[in-house]
Amino acid sequence: MPSLAEQQRAFAAALLDPSLPVPAGLVDPEGRACPRRFAVYRNNVATALIEALETSFPAVRRLVGEAFFREAALRFAVAEPPGSPVLLEYGAGFPAFLELFGPAASLPYLPDVARIERAWVEAHHAEDATPLDPAALASVSPDRVGEIRFAMHPSLRTVRSRYPALTIWRMNVADGIPGPVALDAEGEDALVLRPEAEVCVRFIPPGGSNLLDALARGVPLGAATEAAMQDRADFDLASHLSGLLESGAFIGFSL
C-alpha cells in the first residue's frame, strides 16, 4: 500500500491532468470504479481556479469572452497552480502567460490590460497608509527640493503599455462602453493607487513613469527628474509633482 503522501500525489496529479487514469482504490458504495464521481473533484478544482482568475481579470474576460477565458485560465492554472491558499494573491503570472498564449496573439494589448487588472487587485489588498499632506513640503527650502526622497504609497503600481491599454481597460470594466480604439495610437501608462478606501486608476502623462519608477527606487527628486527628461525633453516637473501629490502617491519624504 503506498503511503498517504504518495496517494495524495497521485490523486492531485490526476485532478490536474484528465488524461491520467483515476487512481486505484477509489470506489462507489458497491466497491466499483467510478470515474464520474472522481470527475466531480476534477471539475471542482478547475472551476475554483478559473473563477479565482475570473474575479481578478474581469476586463480580460469581457474582451475574450467566457469560453476563451475559461480555456486560457484552465491552461494557466494547470501550468501554474496557486502556491498558497491565499487566493487573492493568485494570478501574478497570468499577464505573462497571456503574452505567450498563441490563441491570444491577435490581441497584443491583452497582457497589458491584464497587468492593469493585476495591479488593481494588488492595490486593493495592499497595506493601508495615509497620503502625504502636500502642505508638508512647504517646509523644504527651494535649494534642497532636488534632494527630496519620497516614500511611495504601498498600494502604488505603474503599468507601462505600448498600446492604449488603459482606454481599453476602462471600456471593459463596470459600466464601461466598448468603442473603437486606434491601436496604433500612442501607448498609455497607468497609475494604480488606493490612497483611501477605493482603488483609483489614472493616466500617467508622458515622462511620468520614468519619474515614478526612479522615485520608487529611492532616487532623489532632482536625479529622478533628469531620468524623466531623457524620455521627454519638455518634461514639466511642477505639473507632474502636483498631480502625484494630489493623487496620494506619497506617504512621506526625507532629505
Q: Is 83 in the site for other proteins (CB under 8 A)?
A: yes
Q: How far apart are CA 252 and CA 136, in angstroms?
A: 9
Helix (H) or strand (E) holding 202: strand 200-204
How many alpha carbons fall within 13 Å on the CB side of residue 183? 6
Q: How far apart are the two ends of the chain, measured CA to CA in Å?
A: 67
Considering the rule CB under 8 A, would residue 53 count as an interface residue with other proteins? no
- Taken as a whole, the chain contains a residue count of 255
**97-100 CB contacts, 8 Å cutoff, 24+ apart:** 97/72, 98/60, 98/72
HSE, side-chain direction, 13 A CA sphere, residue 63:
26
Is residue 106 involved in binding other proteins (CB under 8 A)? Answer: no
Out of 20, 21, 28, 133, which residue is the one contacting other proteins (CB under 8 A)?
Answer: 28
CB 14 → other proteins: shortest distance, Å? 11
Among 54, 71, 74, 87, binds other proteins (CB under 8 A): 87
The verdict on 3 binding other proteins (CB under 8 A) reads yes
Q: Which is nearer to other proteins, 36 or 102 (CB)?
A: 36
| 68 is a contact residue toward other proteins (CB under 8 A) | no
- Answer yes or no: are the C-beta atoms of 255 and 147 closer than 8 Å: yes
Interface region with other proteins, contact rule CB under 8 A, candidates 104-112, 141-149, 190-198, 233-241: 190-198
CA torsion, points 68, 72, 73, 78, in degrees to nearest 10?
140
Instruction: Name the residue with cell 491532468.
Output: 17
- Binding of other proteins at residue 9 (CB under 8 A)? yes
Q: Is 74 in the site for other proteins (CB under 8 A)?
A: no
Q: Is 180 in the site for other proteins (CB under 8 A)?
A: no
Only one residue has cell 519638455, namely 234
CA distance 21 to 77: 20
Q: Which stretch binds other proteins (CB under 8 A): 29-37, 94-102, 230-238, 242-250?
A: 29-37
Q: Which stretch binds other proteins (CB under 8 A): 45-53, 63-71, 91-99, 235-243?
A: 45-53
Identified binder of other proteins from the candidate list 19, 65, 67, 84, rule CB under 8 A: 84
Residue closer to other proteins by CB (options 129, 221) is 129
Which chain residues interact with other proteins by CB under 8 A?
1, 3-5, 7-9, 11-13, 15-16, 25-38, 40-41, 44-45, 48-49, 52, 81-88, 123-129, 154-155, 194, 197-198
